[in-house]
Amino acid sequence: MKKARIGFILAVLLTVVLSSTASAQYPGYAWSTAYQVVNMGTVDASIHVDYYDSTGNVVTGASKDFNAVPPGGSQLVVQYIDDPNLGSGLYSAVISASQPVAAIVNQQLVPNGSATYNPVPPFASYTGEGTGSSTLTLSAVMYNWYGYFTDVFIMNVGAAAATNVDIAYIPGAISGVPTGASGVTDLNNPIAQYATLEKSQQSLSSLGAPGGTYNGRFLGSATITSDQPIIAVVNQHNVSAYKLMTYNGFTTAGSTDIADPNHMRGYFGYYSTLLVANPSATTTANVTLTYTPDTAKSVGTNAPVTVGFAILPQTSLTRYDGSTATAAQSDLLPFYTRFFGSVHITSDIPVVAQINVEAVATGDDQAGSFTGIPVSSATPTIVLPVVLADYYGYYTTSIIQNVTGTGGSCTIAYTSDGTYSAVKNHSASYVHALPANGTITVYEGRKGGQEIGDINHDTQWRSGSAKQFIGAATVTCTVNAVAFENEEKDLALKDSMYTFNAFNK
């Protein structure tokens, strides 16, 4: 085992130029990643990165060191151009630092043999994990689900090789009808320390429901158990639509109080699917969902909608708000024709939640995924690890959710990076009101002629013709809050969306 040389360790699973998988799914293209590490500490940080291959061996000559990264500052690493010592393959990374750090990983395609870094859709993102668990919950697993299937990547972050990694697949139900076969397992998988194992459900036909409404399809959850701590990332693919949604497996048993900072229905073509999974093997979860609108962006009753459900042991609940949703699938019908807001999830036993964000195929055709945030993790201080404005056409939408019944305000302090931004290492702060149980939305794009963000109005970042910004931000609120972010590009009919949770500190 390689010992970390400095005090905080973060495991990051990287799919680096995974040519064998991408060639089968997207001929002529290979997967590649880029990650951004942000210093969440109070003083400058020294950051060290080691890469590990599929056998758990560190890749000689590929390690990286970044020194004097300022508090709130960040470092971007693009594998395609910054890691020439990594060949084609699947790698994982361990980041160690002298201060607490957080990382976001972006995944995208690159044309085979490209001499330059020219990423193309579909795009997705996930977060680095500080610790693993011997039991994981995957809230959404798919086989042949209306064009979607999943790939699961499992990383061993324990102190030794894992020899007993078991996967148990659990079908969900829609209106009481099972959405898949029961009893499917994949047992006794070995994973070397710090290595990553890929398990695809693309051809796992045994998951398909045996007859009925969902014959030959599977939408459900899964549990993974191991004799060593592990983490997992799940890719949700719709290859024909060029859509990719990625989320982190849950390393905890869940929470009885969960925040979903953003839920949409009919919002200029955007909509959400909410999945709530009950990890318990024995106890039914009684769950309440409360939808709170942003009244300035919603069309309908402009009042909260509250509904209750019972979720059987080791099954999941799906609430769908696409344009074809029925009243049985959506909780917002008939109250809203357009909804933009948040959801508060409470339960009598711990559950987990995941949110898929999509746009209709005739519009932006975006796809992203993020996980519900336990209210117990909410704090007044939040780190937004990646913020973009005019970054090769990319921009960020940040949504901050107040998890209390008391109104307050949030100060967002932005810091541009020292490498790619037009104005380097510059900081500026902006103050926003945060309604009780409500949200703040900060949009740094220009769609529809809008320029309503903070960075878009900063006098230094917006001076002259140089306007490119990439960096991070620290949010300081007067109440406890949580947040999530979208990164996207106005690229019609292609999935250019990255979505991820921000970090409370």
CATH code for the domain in which residue 449 is found = 2.60.290.11
- Are the CB atoms for 63 and 51 separated by under 8 Å? yes
Are 106 and 214 contained in the same domain? no
For residue 182, the enclosing domain spans 133-248
In a domain, 317, yes or no: yes
Final residue of a structural domain among 338, 356, 377: 377
> Residues, the chain, total?
505
Please tell me the pTM assigned to this model.
0.87
Residue 284, SS3 per DSSP = coil
- Are the CB atoms for 89 and 490 separated by under 8 Å? no
- How confident is the model at residue 43, as a pLDDT? 94
- How confident is the model at residue 21, as a pLDDT? 55
Domain count, the chain: 4
Contacts of 458 (CB under 8 A, 6+ apart): 414, 428
What confidence tens digit (pLDDT) does each residue in 397-427 have? 999 999 999 999 999 999 988 888 888 888 9
State which residues of the chain have pLDDT below 50. 1-5, 17-20
- How confident is the model at residue 449, as a pLDDT? 63
Give the single-character DSSP code of 80.
H
- How confident is the model at residue 1, as a pLDDT? 29
- How confident is the model at residue 15, as a pLDDT? 57
In a domain, 2, yes or no: no
Residue 50, SS3 per DSSP = strand
CATH number of the structural domain spanning residue 146:
2.60.290
- How confident is the model at residue 56, as a pLDDT? 94
Are 215 and 238 contained in the same domain? yes
In a domain, 1, yes or no: no
